[in-house]
Amino acid sequence: MNKKGRVSLVGAGPGDPGLITVKALDRIKEADVIVYDRLVNPVLLDHATAECETIFVGKGPGRHTLGQDEINQLLVARARAGKQVVRLKGGDPFVFGRGGEEAMALVKAGVAFEVVPGISSATAVPAYAGIPVTHRGYSSSVTIVTGHEDPEKEESSIDWHRLARAGDTIVLLMGIGNLTTIAEQIIAGGRAPDTPVALVRWGTTARQQTLEGTLSNIGGLAKQEGFSPPVVAVIGEVAGLRSELNWYEAGPLFGKTVLVTRSRKQASALSARLAREGADVIELPAIEIHQSPENVAALDRAIDSIDDYSWIVFTSVNGVEAFFDRLRAKGLDISALNGAKTCAIGSATARAIEDRGARVHLVPKKYVAEAVLEEFEGMDIRGARFLLPRAEGSRPLLVEGLKARGALVDEAPAYSALLPAQTAPRALKRLTDGEVDIATFASSSTVRNLVRILDGDLGPLGGVCIACIGPVTAATAEEVGLKVDVVASDHTIPGLVEELVRHVRSR
């Protein structure tokens, strides 16, 4: 029996990938084919499966990859072949997105379809520019209109004179090419020449630019500044509120492109914090956490003799996860730890232990191995047995230091920090094309592995601000030839972001 195909007309939102809806993201993950537009953030495609076919059909001013009829035929053909097709469109598919035309073509062809609405640029872009399209006392109505009508029309169906008097706020999409003429007609329709206007280019992204003017001069200003699509224009008194409500472009990292090199699983926490500060985040995972049979065997042997240990020292969240995963796999729980105390390097590591129901007995004030040794300096640990479940190839300093104090130390390589099997090609290209302003490193492994990904060529990192989570990572960066600009005093992800923000503000 042939699999029945279906087309999902999905709104990708206005540009910020965080504005994608849950349902839209589910459809992307399930898709066999994704047919996407120019204004779709390519980061969203990273959520598709490796087997998914992605087809770019973007349209730009004066150039179309495929005509609309060809796009319609493509959707029908892929669906009839039994594919789950996602037609991914910027903003909302039914707000000047030609989604209605595509839906009609699918109905005519007898193809099943659904519509997944998206956040429209008509409201989101002004919001990111600090402009509410309605506001009590300024505007109680909003009109959304396109400045780019069907070129086959004999005359415009938009009565600009009437529109000028019909409502308070006008949001103009795709009108930058006709802006001067449109402004003149709105003035002729009765709007005051000094009515505030704001043009927002590449809204909701780190490339966002906003140009302010009035109906009388905005056309000239746009030409003078070289403003080109995509642009959303907001016409009305609410545009004047931007001076007080401009929140997004005021972010300390706005306009900065920041590279995150953490593993794909762990990158999101750092990426989210950077994005909240206004950064354009590029995720290029330079590390992959892997548990080999050898890792598992070593950890299992340690767990089998868990009663022998006085202390278990966890140096990372990855070590915590590996240890408790094996504990659970062997049918044990935290009660198996009996009298063993736990030491955690870092608040995140401590939190990971506590989240699994175990107590943390010691967290050094500084989140480095040297601080652990300082904490045990005043204790008599002669003959005490220590277990260190941590990354294969970790620094020997902690093991040697504990042994020098008379402790018996068993190191159980719990996981390996490897080079990822696949490199994110879009992220790597942005780095090598010189788009990165800041590179962040949360471990020594990410430093070494990124250099390997670049085949030893540090050229793409020349002139880039290098930010490290702590002194050990910074030392590794300097060893490979990088100039370190930022080292977090609090060796955590929040601490790294805070230090980076301070650095940027000081410059």
Instruction: For the beta carbon of residue 191, count every other beta carbon within 10 angstroms.
Output: 20
The rounded distance, in Å, linking the Cα atoms of 197 and 183 is 10
- Can you spell out the DSSP letters for 110-150? T--EEEE----HHHHHHHHTT--S-BTTTBS-EEEEES---
Question: How is domain 257-287+420-506 classified at the CATH fold level?
Answer: Rossmann fold (3.40.50)
Residue 264 tokens read as 């794909």
pLDDT per position as a tens digit, 23-64 = 999 999 999 999 999 999 988 998 999 999 999 998 765 555
- Can you spell out the DSSP letters for 424-454? -HHHHHHHHTT--SEEEESSHHHHHHHHHHT
The rounded distance, in Å, linking the Cα atoms of 362 and 345 is 9
> In the predicted model, is pLDDT for residue 22 greater than 90?
yes
pLDDT at 298: 87
Q: 266: pLDDT confidence band, cut at 50, 70 and 90?
A: confident
- Higher-confidence residue of 115 and 417: namely 115
As a whole number, the mean pLDDT across the chain is 92
Percent of the chain surpassing pLDDT 70? 97
Q: Is 209 helix (H, G, I), strand (E, B) or coil?
A: strand
What does each C-alpha distance from 295 to 254, 291, 343 come to in angstroms?
Answer: 42, 6, 21
pLDDT at 260: 96
Pairing assessment for the beta strands 53-56 and 142-146 based on DSSP bridges: unpaired
Amino acid making up residue 321: E
Helices (H) and strands (E) in the chain, counts: 18, 22
Average pLDDT over residues 101-118: 97
Do 235 and 261 contact (CB within 8 A), yes or no? Answer: no
Residue 174 is a catalytic residue: yes
Residue 23 is a catalytic residue: no
**SS3 per-residue string spanning 369-429:** HHHHHHHCCCCCCCCCEEEEEEECCCCCHHHHHHHHCCCEEEEEEEEEEECCCCCCHHHHH
Q: What H or E segment, with its residue span, contains residue 289?
A: strand 288-290
pLDDT per position as a tens digit, 144-196 = 998 865 544 455 678 888 888 877 999 999 889 889 999 999 999 999 999 99
Crossing angle, helix 471-479 and helix 444-453, to 10 degrees? Answer: 30
- Exposure string over 259-269, b if 16+ CB within 10 A, otherwise e: bbbbbbebbeb
pLDDT at 504: 95
Q: What is the CA radius of gyration of the chain?
A: 28
CATH architecture of 290-418: 3-Layer(aba) Sandwich (3.40)
Instruction: Give the torsion through C-alpha atoms of 181, 182, 183, 188, to 10 deg.
Output: 90
Average pLDDT over residues 388-407: 92
- Higher-confidence residue of 65 and 370: namely 370
Find residue 309's DSSP bridge partners. Answer: none
Do 87 and 5 contact (CB within 8 A), yes or no? Answer: no
CA 361 to mean position of chain CA atoms:
35
Same topology, domains 257-287+420-506 and 290-418? Answer is yes
Do 496 and 440 contact (CB within 8 A), yes or no? Answer: yes
Name the nearest CA neighbour of 496 among 164, 261, 190: 261
Do 4 and 93 contact (CB within 8 A), yes or no? Answer: no
CA contacts within 13 A on the Cβ side of 86: 31
Do 212 and 198 contact (CB within 8 A), yes or no? Answer: yes
Annotated catalytic residue within 16, 32, 37, 437:
37
pLDDT at 156: 60
The highest-level CATH class for domain 123-245 is: alpha beta
Domain ranges of the chain: 6-118, 123-245, 257-287+420-506, 290-418
Instruction: For the beta carbon of residue 162, count every other beta carbon within 10 angstroms.
Output: 10
The rounded distance, in Å, linking the Cα atoms of 166 and 195 is 15
Q: Is 269 helix (H, G, I), strand (E, B) or coil?
A: helix
pLDDT per position as a tens digit, 350-397 = 999 999 999 999 999 887 788 899 989 889 999 999 999 998 888 899
Annotated catalytic residue within 23, 46, 59, 341:
59
Annotated catalytic residue within 32, 83, 174, 256:
174
Q: Which of 52-66, 350-364, 439-453, 483-497 has the lowest mean pLDDT?
A: 52-66
Question: How is domain 6-118 classified at the CATH fold level?
Answer: Cobalt-precorrin-4 Transmethylase; domain 1 (3.40.1010)
Q: 125: pLDDT confidence band, cut at 50, 70 and 90?
A: very high
Do 316 and 492 contact (CB within 8 A), yes or no? Answer: no
Find residue 114's DSSP bridge partners. Answer: 8
pLDDT at 421: 84
The rounded distance, in Å, linking the Cα atoms of 188 and 507 is 47
> In the predicted model, is pLDDT for residue 348 greater than 60?
yes
pLDDT per position as a tens digit, 222-261 = 999 999 999 999 999 999 999 999 999 999 999 999 999 9
Find residue 343's DSSP bridge partners. Answer: 313, 362
Average pLDDT over residues 431-452: 95
Pairing assessment for the beta strands 385-391 and 465-468 based on DSSP bridges: unpaired
Find residue 22's DSSP bridge partners. Answer: none
Residue where the block lists tokens 């966002």: 208
pLDDT at 1: 45
pLDDT at 151: 44
> In the predicted model, is pLDDT for residue 464 greater than 50?
yes
Residue 174 tokens read as 């795709």
